Structure 1
Amino acid sequence: MAAAVRCLGRVLIAHQRHSLSKMPYQTPLYPCSAYVQIPNRHFAAATKPAKKTKKGAKQKTLEEKKDEIEKIKSYPFMEGEPEDDVYLKHLYPRQIYDVEKAIHLLKKFQILDFTNPKQGVYLDLTLDMALGKKKKVEPFASVLSFPYPFISEINKVAVFTRNASEIKVAEENGAAIAGGTDVIQKILDDEIQLDFYVAVPEIMPELNPLKKKLKKRFPKLAQNSIGRDIPKMLELFKTGHEIKVDEERENFLKTKIATRGCLQRSRDLPRSCQWLHRVVFHRVHVPSSVPY
């Protein structure tokens, strides 16, 4: 009985040694001990199961938002104009006013909102670039001299010419900079950035490196930025205003026509709108029914 107890004790000792060892088997030290196969045990922290994200969750939220928008669009408009000071805008049809009424409202809102007098007033025109034409009209940009000017700051204009006498004339007539290759290199090096660029015809071959740099501001005959009458070009571009068709929406033109401070001269703004409408109409066929 005592021998059996001693033998069992030896087996337990061998098992304890094996649990502290990295070997899968422990060699018996005594004849009565048995081979005990105990696998290595590795301890690790319990891991939490990863959260399962629903693939359709984001899609559902987007669809819900679309449904809400569609519901709002499906609401019937209220009759008449809103009588309350606070109301839901989407429940009433969009108000369209003539030029005089719109200017009156702008003057009223300017006082209520304490608007900065230098804030711009903009005119939006929707163009038909293909109506009655075999070829679609490409988006254009032009510099115009408004009959009722509103720009308080003079534009900075560069004049490209190699002629010394023409450089002197340009400087006397308010050019920000005038010259040939030296001016070209300064623009390429980003040393100067101006509002507009004009040139004499003789220097045009030397301006080819500036095409990618200046893009739509590169001198062109169609924009009256190439010519020999330097004082006339400077007069146009120093006080002129650029209008251009939106690059992304090719049938949309948005341009500044005045500042809030000019609203007091209520007669000038309608005239400017009508004048600009005629200019754009001659540039591309715009239906006369397009609202200002």
Structure 2
Amino acid sequence: MAAAVRCLGRVLIAHQRHSLSKMPYQTPLYPCSAYVQIPNRHFAAATKPAKKTKKGAKQKTLEEKKDEIEKIKSYPFMEGEPEDDVYLKHLYPRQIYDVEKAIHLLKKFQILDFTNPKQGVYLDLTLDMALGKKKKVEPFASVLSFPYPFISEINKVAVFTRNASEIKIAEENGAAIAGGTDLIQKILDDEIQLDFYVAVPEIMPELNPLKKKLKKRFPKLAQNSIGRDIPKMLELFKTGHEIKVDEERENFLKTKIATLDMSSDQIAANLQAVINEVCRHRPLSLGSFVVRALLRSSTSEG
């Protein structure tokens, strides 16, 4: 975990509250992460998910989003601990644990609550998308290879190339389909619907008609989906895991990172892989990118 501390040192953990334990104040951590918290199960109603609004009404100005981030970073909490089991939980900071401790607690509460030992483990991230001077990081999508994969399904990948020998290489390395511009109309007509699309550089100018159709899955150099090493690209995208920022909330990312029956070291390594990938999308010199991180399992509450 040493390599991960620059981006994430501690995590929140969503879990069932079996005892009233010490609640430390939020403190800044590392360049990529402002702080991370722990939502406990309290005797209070859970907050309702935000309602979807019309496209025109949902748009927020950059200043409003910046204010939200600043609220998270400097929210004033009550001093000390709550005296009762029933209290307004938004007045008290959530607990903060090191990654290893957070994973240990998730495993512990699974045993205490008799829930599925193979349930998913999820990471929720709130990001500061501001770049300064009224610019911001655009909602992004990335594909990464987990050091410890937990899904056996193979993604279906298309390879764009005009070269006959490259088409053969693609097919030999497990491409669902490989070809040139003859694939464009089939994709536009939904005859071809795959998980990912990769391409060699030479054919990119001819793929422009697919930009609106494929959106974030249109081949991009930054996503490692454009290149000459076709076997390497296929290896990544066939077994890779996609993470993406929510397009409606624009600063929120949630993804499954493991199953609870995996070892603590394996879960921690997968968490590190996600944090490292996320932190590529904003310069560390701008300060904390991850404003809040939450580690939870499928049955977590709070």
Number of residue equivalences: 273
- Could you report, residue by residue, the CA deviation over 1:227-277 in whole angstroms, capped at 9, with x for unpaired residues? 111001111111222222222233333232212xx9999x999999xxxxx
Counterpart CA distance in 1 for 2:13 and 2:216 is 91
Counterparts of 1:150-165 in structure 2, within 5 Å, are: 150-165=150-165
How has the CA–CA distance of structure 1 residues 93 and 190 changed in structure 2, closer, same or farther, with 3 Å as cutoff? same
| Aligned partners of 1:144 and 1:236 also within 8 Å | yes
Distance 1:18 1:37, change over 3 A: farther
Instruction: From the superposition, tell whether residues 17 and 32 of structure 1 become closer, same or farther in structure 2 (CA, over 3 Å).
Output: farther
Greater strand percent: which structure?
2
TM-score normalised by the chain length of structure 2:
0.53
SS at 2:203's partner residue?
Answer: helix
> How far did residue 160 of structure 1 move?
1.1
Shift, 1:94, TM fit? 2.6
The one of the two structures with greater contact order (alpha-carbon pairs below 8 A, sep at least 6) is: 2
Q: The residue matched to 2:256 in structure 1 has which SS? A: strand
Supply the distance in 2 between the matched residues of 1:9 and 1:136 (Cα, whole angstroms).
25
1:281 aligns with none
Gapped regions of structure 1 (runs ≥ 5): 273-288
CA contact (8 A) 1:156 1:194 kept: yes
Q: Distance in 2 between matches of 1:93 and 1:181?
A: 56
Contact 1:123 1:257 in 2 (8 A): yes
How far is 1:23 from its partner?
A: 91
| CA displacement at 1:5 relative to structure 2 | 119
Whole-angstrom CA distance in 2 between matches of 1:218 and 1:60: 27
Residues 49 and 156 of structure 1, relative CA distance in 2, 3 Å threshold? closer
1:84-124 CA-to-partner distances (Å, cap 9, x unmatched) read: 99998668653332212211121123334554455432222
- CA shift in 2, pair 1:39/1:96, >3 Å: closer
- Deviation at 1:196? 0.8
Aligned partners of 1:36 and 1:268: how far apart in 2?
A: 5
Contact 2:137 2:281 in 1 (8 A): no
SS of match in other structure, 1:6: coil
Q: Is the 8 A contact 1:162 1:179 kept in 2?
A: yes
When structure 1 is superposed on structure 2, of 125-134 and 24-33 the one drifting more is 24-33
Distance in 2 (alpha carbons) for counterparts of 1:242 and 1:254:
11
Kindly tell me: are residues 165 and 117 of structure 1, through their superposed partners in 2, closer, same or farther at Cα, counting changes over 3 Å? farther
Q: Percent of counterpart pairs with the same letter?
A: 96
In structure 1, the residue corresponding to 2:85 is in which secondary structure?
Answer: coil
For structure 2, the residue ranges without an aligned partner over 5 or more in a row are: 260-278, 283-291
Give the aligned partner of residue 168 of structure 1: 168
More helix by share: 1
- 2:7 is paired with a residue whose SS is helix
Given that 1:145 and 1:239 are in contact with CA atoms closer than 8 Å, whether structure 2 keeps it comes out as yes
Looking at structure 2, the residues matched to 33 and 147 of structure 1 have their Cα atoms a distance apart, in angstroms, of 22
Q: Report the Cα offset of residue 147 of structure 1.
A: 2.8
- Given that 2:15 and 2:300 are in contact with CA atoms closer than 8 Å, whether structure 1 keeps it comes out as no
Residues in 2 aligned to 1:102 and 1:68: alpha-carbon distance in whole angstroms: 26
Deviation at 1:215, TM superposition (A): 0.5
| The 10-residue stretch of structure 1 (78-87 or 64-73) with the greater mean CA deviation from structure 2 | 64-73
CA contact (8 A) 2:162 2:180 kept: yes
Corresponding position of 1:270: 295
Question: Is 2:92 aligned against 1:92?
Answer: yes
